[in-house]
Amino acid sequence: MYKCNYCNKTFKTSIGLYIHLKSVHKINMTFDERYKFINYICENKEIPKCKYCDNEIYVKNKRGSKICNNPECKHKYLSDIQKEIHKNNPQLSINARKRRIEYLSNPNNFNTTAYGIRANKKLSYLEQWFLDNIIEKYRLYDKYCIINEYKITNESLTSAYSLDFAFINIKLDVELDGKCHFNHDERIKHDIIRDNYLMSNGWNIYRISYKDIKENENGVIKKFLFLLENNNFEYDKNYYVQHKIINNKDFNNEKINQKLLKKEQHNNYIKNILIDLENNSNIDFSKYGWVNKAKKYLSDKGFNYKQLHRVINKYYPEFFTNNNVFVRN
C-alpha cells in the first residue's frame, strides 16, 4: 500500500499515488521521479548517490542501489567486484593466466592477435586500409618518404616508440587507432605521453580512429589529403574525449546499438498508438469503465493489449496525468 503524507489517503499502486499527488496536491515531478518522491522525500530520507558520479539514485525498491544507470558506472562497479573476487581468490587469476597461455600456445590463435600480427610483420586492418586507400591510391610514395613501424627511441632511452606511418621528410606521424586505444585510461595516458614526447622533438601527430573511418570513410580521406597538401596538421587535444569508449563488449558491440535503435523505434510506434487513442477515441478516461472502451477501440484497429495499464505505464506514462485517468483506490 502507498500512503499520501498530505491527506493520509492510501493507494494500491505507486501509479495511483503518483496521479493523486500530481492532480490533487499539484506536486511537480516526472513519472520516473515518483519512486524518488514516494520512497525518500515523503519519508524524509536522504536520497542515495552513485558512488562513482554522485548522481542521485532512486529505484523502485526501498533498498536502493550503489550505482546509477550510467553504463560507465555499471562497468566500473562490475570491474571492482571482479577485482575484489580475484583479490580474495588468487587462484582464479592463476587459472585465467594458464588458460590464456594455453590458448596462445596454438600458432593459429596467436597469429590472430595484435601481438601475432606484429611478430609476423603484417599490417593491422586499419594500417592496410590506410595503405590501400590513401598511400597507394594517391601515389604518396612518389612525393614522401614513408616508413611503416618507424622506431624512435623514447625518453627512457631503453626502448622505442613505434610510428604506424612516418612521413620522414615532413616529420609527420600518422596513427591508426583501433578500439584498444580508447578502452583504458592507462592506454590513453600512455598515448598522450608518447605524443607529447614526439611533438617536443618536432613531429606532428595525426590520429585516425576506427570510428571515424566507419562513420565517414570518404570524409577521412579527403580531410587527410587536404591537410597533407597544406602541411597543416594541428594536434587535437580533445581527440580522446571525443572517442573514449567503455571497455565492455556489450556497450562496444554494434549489434547492441542496433537493438537499442530498434527498441526506440518500437517504443515510438506503441506511443503513437496510445496518442491516437487519447486524441481520437472520444473516451472519457476520468470515468470508470474507460479501460474496456479503450481495449475495444484498439482491438478494432488491430491492437490487442490485455494489460493496458502496464502498456501505458511503459510507453506513454504522461497519458495518466494528461487525461486525469480514473484509478481504483
pLDDT on residue 130:
93
> 144 and 231: one domain?
yes
Decide: 202 and 233 in contact? Cβ < 8 Å. no
> 95 and 26: one domain?
no
Residue 194 lies in a domain: yes
Q: Which of 6-10, 64-68, 300-304 has the lowest mean pLDDT?
A: 64-68
**Domain endpoint, select from 247, 276, 303:** 247
> 142 and 243: one domain?
yes
Single-letter residue type at 121: K
Decide: 73 and 50 in contact? Cβ < 8 Å. yes
pLDDT on residue 129:
93
- Tens digits of residue pLDDT in 182-240: 877 788 888 999 999 999 999 999 999 988 898 899 999 999 999 999 888 888 888 87
- Residue 206's domain is classified under what CATH number? 3.40.960.10
> 55 and 132: one domain?
no
Helix (H, G, I), strand (E, B) or coil at 180: helix
Which domain range does residue 93 map to? 72-105
pLDDT on residue 165:
93
> 93 and 128: one domain?
no
Q: Is the pTM of this model over 0.85?
A: no
Q: DSSP assignment of 128-142, as one string?
A: HHHIIIIITTTTGGG
Binning pLDDT at 50, 70 and 90, where does residue 138 land?
very high
Residue 176 lies in a domain: yes
Residue owning grid cell 592463476: 94
Comparison of pLDDT for 252 and 281, the residue scoring more: 281
Decide if pLDDT at 162 tops 90. no
Please compute the mean of the pLDDT values over residues 79-93 and round it to a whole number: 86
Residue 60 lies in a domain: yes
> 52 and 87: one domain?
no
> 170 and 157: one domain?
yes
Please compute the mean of the pLDDT values over residues 252-277 and round it to a whole number: 80
User: Which residues fall within 8 angstroms of residue 327, CB to CB, at 6 or more apart?
Assistant: 11, 13, 15, 16, 19, 320
- Number of folded domains that form the chain: 4
Name the grid cell of 295.
Answer: 481495449
Residue 115 lies in a domain: no
Which residues of the chain form beta strands (DSSP E)? Answer: 2-3, 10-11, 146-153, 160-167, 172-177, 204-209
Strands 172-177 and 204-209: parallel
Residue 327 lies in a domain: no
> 218 and 278: one domain?
no
Q: Where are the alpha helices (DSSP H) in 201-253?
A: 210-215, 217-230, 239-243, 249-252
Widest pairwise Cα distance in the chain: 84
